[in-house]
Amino acid sequence: MSTSGKADKDRWEELQIDRLLIGLSPDEQGEYETLSRQMHSDPSGSFERVVASIDVTWLESNSIPLPEHLRKAIRDQAVQEWLSPAPLLAKTLTVNRTAGRSTRLPWIVAAACLALSVFTPFLNRPAKDILKSAAQLRTELIASATDIIELKWSVGPTPIAGAEGDVVWSPERQQGFMRFRGLTVNEPTHQQYQLWIFDKNQDEKTPVDGGVFDISSNGEVIIPIHAKLRVADVYLFAVTIEKPGGVVVSTRERLPLLAMVKRT
Amino acid sequence: MRVPLLPRVAQGEIAAIDECLDRYGGLIWSLARRLSPSSPDAEDAVQEIFIDLWRSAARYREDLGEEETFVATVARRRLIDRNRKLHRIPKPQPIDETTLTYASPEVTPIETSEDAQRAAACLKKLRDNEREVLELSIYHGMAHLGISERTGSPLGTVKTLIRRGLTQLRTCMRLGSRVSAEGGVAL
């Protein structure tokens, strides 16, 4: 490597690190972009990944819970964003920041006002018409995934009369949906349903938690599967009834539904 | 390995938003608190980070990196960018306060990503002075000058130690050429 080449590489690394830790001035940013075009092998991602990995390492074990009011604001804003035609928030954010205001949540208020004034008819539509429902997502998954497993529920050791339905699962996407009809409506403060996914690569005693859910209707209900861990080779889905919030290890005393993958 | 949530966010599944808030809220909030000059500023920042996250959800690719790392990358970029735009660098806290408020982080996470576990293992291999400056810079968000004052090392030495430490970590984590060739956690 030539002297100038080494100098460029040194400077390049220096700028990458400063960019991650303290940020770059406009001049430095220009220099960074020039060098990034010159450097054939751009290693910026690796330094960035190292720092991000350290952030995760140090902060996950020392993290402070997100305040509830902040969580609610973020969630509300996210739903609002889902309800809005795409660029609404981007415009609002720009306006607020260039105006130099630093009060809390100004853009949420502005976004809400703008949305209400411009898109009132749109927003007055029921959310289910706008948001993608579980039924839509299920249909899309079945249409687009090439490895769909589709199974009928069968009765478990403690059946619920009239309960039926099916489960679809894409191993590649790790996504799936359960469909139920006739499953008893539960009182969430008293008990909840919980899905378990049995993986051939995992001990039968420790199936993957597929998520806690509620049944609010005797009619058709579609529930997305939220596997907490990657499922490599599923062979059985099981629904149990547990205490509110679910359990880490089920006693399997109340197990109304099963869906077994048939091996050919 | 945990199942990523961002693909579900990208599909417009509201339930995935809740799970993301559960899974990453503490990480992002903690990072924002450490790298922001005030609590109100951290609140603004954390909301902007989540907006960034929702919008970049479709760009996340599981084969190029773990979701936790991706989230931390999005968060740090936004926080550093905010500080730079506002011409601010978080003020280094007085030594006693730093020591009291921000004790050294634990480096043995129980249930975290493979990247983070690898980083934790590699951090242990660094020299004490390298690890110390990285901790002050990355974890406490201190500027180089503040680290120099804190450690008594010349500014040039601080920069050298940071760079050497990160380079060694990069090598140790074996991320260099593979990641750059694949695009890493490019957003």
- Which pLDDT score, from 0 to 100, does residue B84 have? 83
What is chain A's alpha carbon radius of gyration, rounded to the nearest angstrom? 25
As a whole number of angstroms, the distance between CA B165 and CA B170 comes to 9
In DSSP notation, A88-157 reads HHHHHHHHHHHTT---SSHHHHHHHHHHHHHHHHHHTS-HHHHSPPHHHHHHHHHHH-SS-EEEE-EE-S
Look at strands A221-224 and A257-260 and give their pairing.
Answer: unpaired
At A196, give phi and psi (nearest 5°): -125, 135
Selected from 3.30.930.10, 1.10.3720.10, 1.10.230.10, 1.10.1740.10, the CATH number assigned to the domain covering B1-90 reads: 1.10.1740.10
Q: Please list the rounded mean pLDDT of every run of 10 residues in chain A (264 residues).
A: 70 90 88 81 67 86 86 86 48 33 42 40 37 78 90 92 93 92 89 94 89 87 89 94 89 93 73
Q: How far is B129 from chain A (nearest CA, A)?
A: 17
Identify which of A14, A21, A67 has the shortest CB distance to residue B137: A21
Contact B68 A60 (CB under 8 A): yes
As a whole number of angstroms, the distance between CA A146 and CA A54 comes to 37
Angle at alpha carbon of residue B51, lines to B45 and B57, rounded to 5°: 130
Per-residue H/E/C for A217-257:
CCCCEEEECCCCECCCCEEEEEEEEECCCCCCCCCCCCCCE
C-alpha closest to that of B187 among B49, B86, B85: B49
Chains A & B: contacts with CB separation below 8 Å? 239
Q: Which of A9, A28, A60 to mutate to test the interface with B (most CBs of B within 10 A)?
A: A60
Domain ranges in chain A are 3-60, 68-127, 134-260
Those residues whose C-beta lies under 8 Å from the C-beta of residue A235, and which sit 6 or more positions away, are A198, A199, A200, A260, A261, A263
Look at strands A192-199 and A234-242 and give their pairing.
Answer: antiparallel
Identify which of A61, A93, A102 has the shortest CB distance to residue B106: A61
Measured CA distances, A202 to A2, A196, B27, B117 (Å): 54, 12, 29, 22
Specify the CATH class of B92-187 in words.
mainly alpha
- Which pLDDT score, from 0 to 100, does residue B13 have? 82
Q: List every span in chain B annotated with CATH 1.10.10.10.
A: 92-187
At A170, give phi and psi (nearest 5°): -110, 110
Identify which of B3, B80, B185 has the shortest CB distance to residue A49: B185
A66 touches chain B (CB under 8 A): yes
pLDDT, tens digit (0-9, with 9 covering 90-100), for B49-83: 998 999 888 888 877 788 999 999 999 999 999 88
As a whole number of angstroms, the distance between CA A112 and CA A242 comes to 39
Identify which of B17, B27, B116 has the shortest CB distance to residue A53: B116
Burial class for A115, CB neighbours closer than 10 Å (0-12, 13-18, 19+) = buried
- Which pLDDT score, from 0 to 100, does residue A128 have? 39
Strand partners, A194: A212, A240
Given a contact cutoff of 8 angstroms between Cβ atoms, the answer to whether B127 and B75 are in contact is no
Q: How far is B149 from chain A (nearest CA, A)?
A: 17
B27-37 average pLDDT score: 91
B115 — pLDDT class (breaks 50, 70, 90):
confident
As a whole number of angstroms, the distance between CA B58 and CA B9 comes to 8
pLDDT, tens digit (0-9, with 9 covering 90-100), for B128-184: 999 999 999 998 888 899 999 999 999 999 999 999 999 999 888 875 334 333 333
A82 touches chain B (CB under 8 A): yes
Contact A59 B30 (CB under 8 A): yes
Given a contact cutoff of 8 angstroms between Cβ atoms, the answer to whether A64 and B30 are in contact is yes
DSSP state of B48: H
As a whole number of angstroms, the distance between CA A246 and CA A191 comes to 8
A42 touches chain B (CB under 8 A): yes
As a whole number of angstroms, the distance between CA B73 and CA B115 comes to 13
As a whole number of angstroms, the distance between CA B173 and CA A42 comes to 17
As a whole number of angstroms, the distance between CA A63 and CA B80 comes to 19
What long-range pairs does B122-125 form, CB within 8 A, spacing at least 24? B122/B168, B122/B169, B122/B172, B122/B173, B123/A54, B123/A57, B123/B169, B125/B168, B125/B172
Q: Which of A11, A22, A58 to mutate to test the interface with B (most CBs of B within 10 A)?
A: A58
B39 — pLDDT class (breaks 50, 70, 90):
confident
ipTM of the complex: 0.82
- Which pLDDT score, from 0 to 100, does residue B94 have? 41
Polymer length of chain A: 264
Q: Which of A74, A136, A139 to mutate to test the interface with B (most CBs of B within 10 A)?
A: A74
- Which pLDDT score, from 0 to 100, does residue A84 have? 55
